[in-house]
Amino acid sequence: MRSSLGEKLFYQINAIILGLVALSCLLPIIHVAALSLSDTHSIMSGKVSFWPKGWSWDSYRLLLEGTRIIQSFMNSIIITVVGVALSLVFTFLAAYPLAQSYMYGRKLFTLAIVFTMLFSGGIIPTYLVIKALGLMNTYSAIWLPALISTYYMLIMRTFFANIPKELEEAARIDGSGEFRYIIRIVLPLSMPVIATISLFYAVGYWNTFLTVLLYIQNIEKYNLAVLVQQMIQSQSLLQEINNLPANEQNTATPEGIKSAGIMVMVIPMLIIYPFLQRYFIQGVMIGAIKG
């Protein structure tokens, strides 16, 4: 069916607007990447825009030698990997029973869970609970409050509810138990929504900032988000760089090193996303369809 003139015009205007929005998100990243790869003179003279001037890796070298970037990077990996694994398991354990029609009181439980999307205890009660549980200065204080996202749980629940009941009936006829049915049928069919929610959780854990500042006192346990924020807003970066030999201090500017830190934080998610992109739209759309 051919599109009308109005529809074609709408699609073209929509493409232009989305293109401008994409550029507004992409250009700052390109500028920061250019700063991180430019030499000191070009950065200080303000010649760097969207392409590196006087290519140099000194910002990354000094970032590795003069800051705790490697340790913070490993901390971010630990927080993200363990957090995603725990969140996926508990989100699945919450979503699957609520999707089964034979579960007693599932509507009441669903309403109670949705209620938490509208009202929460807030930062201070959560802080007091974490402190009372003795979880201060541990990563458990980060994982526990973010263990289950209500929104992601509802997406997964809707996905499970749309799995044809004939598959379950056939599995029961073949003598399959509940766990075997989940492992052999439900999980393979759920890979799109699982991959999508994994990406959502990974981005959240990787960028977690406030909870680290609230619950982690040991700077050795800080993640990349907190380290980069300190590099941008405080003089700690300059103090650490001043501890390096004098001949190395002048090979890069603080702006270049801060830009390199931002890129180290952004690049992992940019690398992971293309591998999960094919699941992204499929998982969200399937999870949003009411069968």
Give residue 245's pLDDT: 56
* Phi and psi based region of residue 283 (left: phi greater than 0; alpha: psi -120 to 50; beta: remaining): alpha
pLDDT at 187 > cutoff 60: yes
Structure tokens at 161: 């509810």
Can you tell me the mean pLDDT for 157-182?
A: 81
Q: Using CA atoms, how far apart are residues 59 and 37, in angstroms rounded to an integer?
A: 7
pLDDT mean over 220-228: 85
- Select the more confidently predicted residue: 131 or 288: 131
pLDDT score at 287 = 47
Whole-angstrom distance, CA of residue 81 vs CA of residue 93:
19
What are the residue ranges spanned by the domains of the chain?
Answer: 1-56, 57-288
Band of residue 285 on the pLDDT scale cut at 50, 70, 90: low
Positive or negative: CA dihedral 172, 178, 184, 185: positive
Cα distances from 253 to residues 27, 44, 85, 234, 256, in angstroms, run 21, 8, 39, 15, 5
Q: Which residues, 6+ apart, have CB-to-CB distance to 58 below 8 Å?
A: 39, 40, 251, 252, 256
pLDDT at 193 over 80: yes
Q: Which residue has the higher pLDDT, 210 or 272?
A: 210
Q: Measured between alpha carbons, how far is residue 127 from residues 116, 124, 208 in Å? A: 17, 5, 16
Q: Does 234 score more than 80 pLDDT?
A: no
pLDDT exceeds cutoff 90 at 86 = yes
Give the tens place of pLDDT for each residue, 139-153: 999 998 888 888 888
User: Distance between CA atoms of 60 and 201, rounded to whole angstroms?
Assistant: 28
Radius of gyration in angstroms for the set of CA atoms belonging to the chain, rounded to a whole number: 24
d(CA 94, CA 76): 26
Q: In sequence order, what are the residues at sequence separation of 6 or more whose Cβ sits closer than 8 angstroms to the Cβ of residue 18?
A: none
Query: Of 4-8, 22-26, 82-86, 190-194, which gets the smallest average pLDDT?
Result: 4-8
More confident residue, 49 or 236: 49
In angstroms, the CA 161 to CA 97 distance is: 10
Torsion angle, alpha carbons of 246, 247, 253, 259, to 10: -100
CATH fold, domain 57-288, is MetI-like fold (1.10.3720)
Instruction: Decide if pLDDT at 161 tops 70.
Output: yes
φ/ψ bin of 46: left (φ > 0), alpha (ψ from -120 to 50), beta (otherwise): left
Q: Dump the DSSP string for 173-200.
A: HTT--HHHHIIIIIHHHTHHHHHHHHHH
Tell me the CA distances in angstroms from 139 to 26, 79, 81, 117, 277, one per residue in order: 32, 7, 12, 24, 29
- pLDDT at residue 17 greater than cutoff 90: yes
Cα 84 to Cα 76: distance, rounded to the nearest angstrom: 12
> Side-chain half-sphere of 223: how many Cα atoms within 13 Å?
26
Q: Is pLDDT of 42 > 80?
A: no
Cα 117-121-123 angle, rounded to 5 deg: 110
